[in-house]
Amino acid sequence: MAAVGFAVSHYLNAAVDSRHRATVLSFKGLAFNLGYGFVSLLFALALRAYRDTGSAGDGLAGALTLLPVWLVFTALIMALIFWRHRAHLLQRN
């Protein structure tokens, strides 16, 4: 995730003029922190849902099986967002 943050910051530094760069990078940091917090909250809820499955290892294994589902769901949402804004994204090139 650190590499993604670095790549996004590098792109934003190149794409945004210096007057707005600090604001844009601050919002990037806010978005990343909210994303981490939201995923952590969902994982904590999954751990709580699986806590009565026997051992702690079984609960963790059950919660970890939800991570690929979350990845697919997030990828589909991002694909939908990019698809809806494709005209604007292609116009920039």
Give the pLDDT of the chain (93 residues) as one tens digit per residue: 678 888 888 888 888 888 988 999 999 999 999 989 998 998 898 888 888 777 888 888 888 888 898 889 989 999 998 888 887 777 765
- CA atoms within a 13 Å half-sphere pointing along the CA-CB vector of 71: 5
How far is residue 2 CA from its own chain's centroid? 12
* CA separation, residue 72 to residues 22, 50, 68, 86 (Å): 32, 21, 6, 20
* pTM greater than 0.85 (yes/no): no
> Which letter does DSSP use for residue 17 in this model?
-
Q: Which residues contact 12 (CB under 8 A, 6 or more apart)?
A: 21, 24, 25, 28
